[in-house]
Amino acid sequence: MSPMSSPIVALFLTFFLLLSAADAFNITKILSSFSDYSTFNDLLTQTGVASEINDKKSVTVLVVSNSQISGLSSQPKDTIKKMLSIHVVLDYYDKAKVDKVPSKPLTLTTLYQQSGKAQNQQGFLTMTRVGKQVSFGSAAPGSSHDSIFVKQVTTQPYDISVLEISNVINVAITSSPSYAPNASPPRKALAPGPNKSPLASPPKTTRSDIPAADAPSTTTDSDAPDNTSAASIASASAILFIFASACFMLTMI
């Protein structure tokens, strides 16, 4: 048993490191230190976009100061959520990276693209250098590109970067009532599913079962108090056996 335990321990450590990495930052907490963005922060919380940001590994949030966001606050919640999702870039860009942006427009993927609702390039931004300035705009045709990079607010390399832009990014509203619902659901289902469930469930069940798993051969014979505990010990040993076999097979490769 003992030669087996170290790979198993390593396996569980890996699981917990992966789990804790997913919660490495909290955008609500980060923005709470900057009163200029309190409205943006409140809207992130109200729409649930904040928790979606926290689930990402490498992300850039383009924030707008309170004085520039009043127009957005009065919109319906769905619209606010969409607009905020467009301000979340699924990659890490700090000031150093923004400074190196070439004059050729760079396409960025946003959180809105992952919602499966984006049409006509609405899920993408372009970042463009215009002289000494860098502007952000929607990649959707007809959108204006007048959101100018103001400053780096804060970063946690290379997990999250918060950049201030001059104003809310405009997205051209293209009305297409006959939009195909078939195209979006698979993408939507893909995004949150496989990221979380396989990681989240196994460590929870197996961790609590480990201490019990060493005991079964001695305790089950003497007295089996009730069926449920015997069953759980049996399933615990089954899980441990599967893990041990997996580890053993790995060492054979």
Ligand X SMILES: *[C@@H]1O[C@H](CO)[C@@H](O)[C@H](O)[C@H]1NC(C)=O
- The yes or no reply on residue 38 touching ligand X (CB under 6 A) is no
Q: Which residues contact 92 (CB under 8 A, 6 or more apart)?
A: 58, 59, 60, 157, 158, 159, 160, 161
Q: Does 196 bind ligand X (CB under 6 A)?
A: no
Residue 123 is classified by DSSP as T
The residue (of 41 and 60) whose beta carbon lies closer to ligand X is 41
| Closer residue to ligand X, CB minimum distance, 42 or 91 | 42
Residue closer to ligand X, measured from CB, 54 or 122:
54
Q: Which residues in the 51-90 window bind ligand X by CB under 6 A? A: 54
Please report how close the Cβ of residue 23 comes to ligand X at its closest, in angstroms: 7
Nearer to ligand X, 32 or 251 (CB): 32
**4, 19, 22, 28: residue in contact with ligand X (rule CB under 6 A):** 28
Number of residues that bind ligand X (CB under 6 A): 5
> Which of residues 54 and 237 has its CB atom nearest to ligand X in the complex?
54
Q: How far apart are alpha carbons 155 and 16 in whole angstroms? A: 24
- Cα–chain-centroid distance for residue 1? 38
Contact window for ligand X (CB under 6 A) among 21-29, 58-66, 86-94, 157-165? 21-29
Is 154 a binding residue for ligand X by CB under 6 A? The answer is: no
Using CB under 6 A as the binding rule, whether residue 46 contacts ligand X is answered as no
CB of 109 to ligand X, least distance (A): 24
Instruction: Give Cβ neighbours of residue 228 (< 8 Å, ≥ 6 apart).
Output: none
- Choose between 27 and 168: whose C-beta lies nearer to ligand X: 27
Q: Could you write out the DSSP letters of every residue in 60-121?
A: EEEE--GGG-HHHHTS-HHHHHHHHHHTEESS---HHHHHT--SS-EEEEBHHHHTT---TT
- What angle do helix axes 193-213 and 227-252 make, rounded to 10 degrees? 110
26 binds ligand X (CB under 6 A): yes
Site membership for ligand X, residue 29 (CB under 6 A): yes
Pairing of strands 147-156, 160-165: antiparallel
- Find out whether 106 and 126 touch, Cβ atoms under 8 Å: yes
Binding residues vs ligand X (CB under 6 A)? 26, 28-29, 32, 54
